[in-house]
Amino acid sequence: MADLSVTWERELLEQFSCLTAASEEEPCPNYTEEYYYNGATGLLHLSDEVLLVIMRNLDPMSLLRLGSTCSLMFRVSSCNFLWNTHFQESFGVRLSSAITKCPVTAKNAFRLVFMWRSLFINIHCNRAFQEKLFVEIPQAPHKYWIQWLVLEEDVPLPSIRLPSGDVEKLWGIPSDLFQDKLQEKTEDCDVLKFEWRELHNLAVKHHGSASLVFQHVLSQHQHNEHTELESMYHQYVQCRFQWLFTYWLFRQPSPFNKQLKSIFLQWKKHSKRKVSTWGETLCDVRYLASLHPVTKDYWQGRLARGDASLGIQTVASYFSMCKSLVAWILSRDWGRLKRRKVYEDTLEGVYLLLRREMHETLVEHERFWQVAKVQMGRVLYLVSGNSLYLDHVQGFLRRKKLIRDWIYLEENSWARQFLPEPLFTLLEFDTKISQESLHGDSAAAQLSRVMWLYLNSGQQRFLDELKALVLLCAQIYVQQLTSAALHTV
C-alpha cells in the first residue's frame, strides 16, 4: 500500500472533506479581470498544452487550489492525464490504459479512493468505521463496503460468507475460478466462505491487473451514493488526532501500557479522580492530553505540520525520552521534591527549545534526549548550586564554539572552500550530532566520533585529531578535483 505524501496530506484531507463529486461541468468561481491583472495574468494567456506542462509539476493540493480560481483553470486542472499521474503515485496503480473505458473521471476516481484509503489505513483507531465493517459479522458487511474492500490485499476482518452469485455480480469473478469452493458447498447451503486475501487474488487473476480491478470497482460505484463515505471521511478529518492519540495511549501491549501510564503521570500535577478512569469509556482523554504540552499540541493538530502519523511518532519519541529521564533521575540519591523539580523543569526546557521544530517535522528520541541532557545540566545547577553541572554545560558549549572559530580562521579558508558540505556542516556551532551519525566508516562518521569525544571529554588530543582529520579530508578532495581536471585535459 503506497504511502501518501506527508507534505500535502493534511490540506488535501481538509480540501476533500468539503468537496462533492466533481465533474468537468461543475461551476467554479469566476474572478474579475482586475483580479488577474493584479497577479495571475500570465497563466490566462497560455495555451492548454503549456498549462498542462506547468500543472503536471504541482502536487494534488496545489492542483486543487489552482483549479478553484476560475473556470479555465478548473477545466484544465481536471484533465485525466494529471490526476491519473497522482493516482499512480499515491496508490501504486496506473489507470491510464483503462480510464477511457471507466465512466468515472480520474479526478473523481482519485477523490473516492483517497477518501476510502484514508479511512482504511486508519481503521485501527476509527471506532465508527470498525463498527460499519464488523457489526454484521458473521454476516457480510454492506455490499457497498465489500466492493471497496476487495481493493485491499490485507483486510483485518474475519473470513466472509457470500453466495456464489454475489461474488460474480460484485467483482465479475466467474464461478470457474473457484470450483474448489463450489465442490465444498453442501446441498443445504448456497453460501461460500472466502478469505479476503483470497478474494483480492481472484479479482486480480480474473481482471488481469490491480489497475483493472480498480477500474471495475469504480465502474460499479458510478451510480452509487457516496454520502456515507463522505460523512465518515469528514468525521475522520475532524477527529483523527483525538482518535489516534486515544488509540496510542490505551492500546499499548502489556506491560508497556502500565509503564506508559506511570511515565505519563510521573511527577506531573494531576487530578487523581480524573486519572482513576484511565483507559475506560468515561476517561477524560482531553484532560490527559492537557498534562503535557506535546500531547496538547498533538490533540490540536499542531505537530509535524498537522500530519497525524508523524505527530504521534513525535509523541512516542517524547515519552521515550521521558522514560530515559525518569530512569536517570531515580538513579540519583535525591529527595522527592528535588526529583520532581528537575523532571518538570527539564521537560519544560525541552519543550521550549524544540517547540518550533516539533511543529514542523518529526522529532525522534535521540534528538529529545540530546536536548534534555543539556537542559538537565542547567536545571541541576540551579537546583543544587553545584558548579560541576554548570562547568559541564559551559565547557560543552565553549568547545563547540572553539571548533567553529577554528575552521573560520583565515589560514583555513582553503579548507572551507574545498571541504565537502556534509563535513563542513558538522563544524558549525549549532549542528546537532545524532547517534546514527556516529556509526560507520564514512568520513562524516569518523569526524562525528572524534568531535563527540572532544566535546564531552575536553581532551586536547581529540581536538588535535579532529583538526588533522578535517585538513586531510580537504586535501583529499583537492587532489580528486585536480586529478579529474588533468584527466579531462
Residue 98 falls within a domain, yes or no?
no
- Look up residue 32 and give its three cell numbers: 474579475
Residues 198 and 275 reside in one and the same domain? no
Which of 343, 360, 385 terminates a domain? The answer is: 385
Q: What is the DSSP string of 371-382?
A: HHHHHHHHHHHH
> Is 480 strand, coil or helix?
helix
> Is 145 strand, coil or helix?
helix
Residues 301 and 328 reside in one and the same domain? yes
Residue 387 confidence (pLDDT): 61
Question: Cα(475)–Cα(412) distance, rounded to whole angstroms?
Answer: 12
Tell me how many degrees the CA angle 204-160-232 measures, rounded to the nearest 5.
85
Residues 291 and 401 reside in one and the same domain? no
Residue 353 falls within a domain, yes or no?
yes
Q: What b-and-e string marks burial along 376-406, b requiring 16 or more CB atoms within 10 Å of the CB? A: bbbbbbebeeeeebbebbeeeeebbeebeee
Beta strand 191-194 with 160-163: parallel, antiparallel or unpaired? antiparallel
Total-model pTM: 0.66
Residue 457 falls within a domain, yes or no?
yes
Residues 353 and 399 reside in one and the same domain? no
Question: Where is 150: in which H helix or E strand?
Answer: none
Residue 70 falls within a domain, yes or no?
no
Note whether 133 and 145 are within 8 A (CB): yes
Residues 346 and 434 reside in one and the same domain? no
Residue 13 falls within a domain, yes or no?
no
Question: Cα(223)–Cα(110) distance, rounded to whole angstroms?
Answer: 17
Residue 139 falls within a domain, yes or no?
yes
Residues 373 and 430 reside in one and the same domain? no
Question: Cα(153)–Cα(149) distance, rounded to whole angstroms?
Answer: 8
Residue 359 confidence (pLDDT): 94
Residue 382 confidence (pLDDT): 66
> Is 133 strand, coil or helix?
helix
Q: What is the DSSP letter of 142?
A: P
Residues 297 and 366 reside in one and the same domain? yes
How many domains are contained in the chain? 3
pLDDT in tens, the chain (489 residues): 334 444 344 545 555 544 433 333 344 444 444 444 454 456 777 787 888 888 888 888 888 888 888 888 888 888 888 888 888 888 888 875 544 455 678 888 899 999 999 999 999 899 888 888 876 555 567 888 888 988 888 888 888 877 777 777 777 777 777 666 655 655 545 677 888 888 888 888 888 888 888 888 888 888 888 999 999 999 999 999 999 999 999 988 877 888 899 999 998 889 999 999 998 888 999 999 999 999 999 999 999 999 999 999 999 999 999 999 998 888 877 777 788 888 998 999 899 989 999 999 999 998 898 888 888 877 776 666 666 666 666 777 788 889 888 988 988 888 888 888 888 888 887 777 766 677 778 888 888 888 888 887 788 888 899 899 989 888 888 888 777 766 665
CA 192 to chain centre: 39
The HSE-up count of residue 129 (CA atoms within 13 Å, CB side) is: 28
Owner of C-alpha cell 489552482: 66
- Look up residue 325 and give its three cell numbers: 529521564
Domain housing 174: 112-234
Owner of C-alpha cell 494529471: 82
CA 339 to chain centre: 35
> In 60-215, where do the E strands start and end?
160-163, 191-194
Which of 234, 266, 284 terminates a domain? The answer is: 234
Residue 413 confidence (pLDDT): 87
Which of 385, 409, 437 terminates a domain? The answer is: 385
Residues 402 and 376 reside in one and the same domain? no
Question: Cα(192)–Cα(167) distance, rounded to whole angstroms?
Answer: 9
Question: Where is 440: in which H helix or E strand?
Answer: none
Residues 377 and 413 reside in one and the same domain? no
Residue 74 falls within a domain, yes or no?
no
Residues 229 and 261 reside in one and the same domain? no
Residues 280 and 198 reside in one and the same domain? no
Residues 285 and 339 reside in one and the same domain? yes
Residue 450 falls within a domain, yes or no?
yes
Residue 442 φ/ψ, nearest 5 degrees: -70, 165
